Amino acid sequence: MAEGGKIDPMHQFQVQTIWDGFSIGGQQIAFTNSALWMCITVVVLWVFMLGGMRNQLVPGRWQMAVEGATRFIDNMLSANVGPEGKRYVPFVFSLFMFILFANMLGLLPLGVVGVHPFTFTSHFTVTGVLAILSFSIVLIVGFWRHGLHFFSLFVPHGTPVWLLWLIPFIELVSFMVRPFSLALRLFVAMMAGHVLLEVLSGFIINGGNAGLGIGLGVGIPSFILMIGICALEVLVSAIQAYVFALLTSLYINDAVNLH
């Protein structure tokens, strides 16, 4: 957003109310631009999956893309969890694809037609909910399979007796920090990239307003750098979705197999 020649790189992260919604217990439940793009992400993902589930004898590119993504997550869970990892494929696959599509949709240059994408994964509240969901699955699986024996996760095999007063505490803190680090990693990566793109676009706009010489000297390098950053952001979007799914599968492995 530009006002008086100033570019506010944080304006793109502002949650705006689209519909006031309703009130529950004095708390206003509104439909925001963040919720709108979550719905758009779900619809686009549903269309993607629907188009790729045709079960054709000779699969087309669309079906191959869906089957390839499913196989990718299946192989990840098989490698990290073992044979029992297959039962968690639907959850991890949904998590991976939702984050991937959310990140990618937020990078679309729809501003040229007056539509401003909202990257809701750049909000810690959203990534935090996703991380808590993954952490909850790990806790449910761990206690369902092992009962109170699940607490043995905090006492690694081979721990010296004289360290039993310290190691479980360190392991517990490390375990409880997992959802925070999981959410923070995705949030920071997506927010930083979008802020950088906004700053570079500000250089181009302000350089053009300053005159032809400064506009060419500042605008052209900034524009070239923006192209490179955009390509990097596409890569980061995919990597962050992969890292989130990978760490979730590793945490599930701890719950299933302990250590």
Is 232 within 8 Å of 71 (Cβ atoms)?
Answer: no
Q: What is the pLDDT of residues 146-190, one digit of tens each?
A: 888 888 888 877 778 888 788 889 989 999 999 999 999 999 999
Structure tokens at 182: 């999981």
Per-residue pLDDT, 27: 74
- Tens of pLDDT, residues 31-81: 888 999 999 999 999 999 987 777 766 778 888 888 899 999 999 999 999
List C-alpha distances in Å: 208 to 32, 204, 223, 225, 226: 34, 6, 12, 16, 16
DSSP string of 12-79? GG---EEEEEEEETTEEEEEEHHHHHHHHHHHHHHHHHHHT----SS--HHHHHHHHHHHHHHHHHHH
DSSP 91-114: HHHHHHHHHHHHHHHTT--GGGGT
User: With 70 as the cut, is the pLDDT of residue 215 above it?
Assistant: no
Q: What is the pLDDT of residues 83-128, one digit of tens each?
A: 889 999 999 999 999 999 999 998 888 766 777 888 999 999 999 9
- What whole-number distance in Å separates Cα of residue 209 and Cα of residue 207? 5
Residue 7: the pLDDT is 64
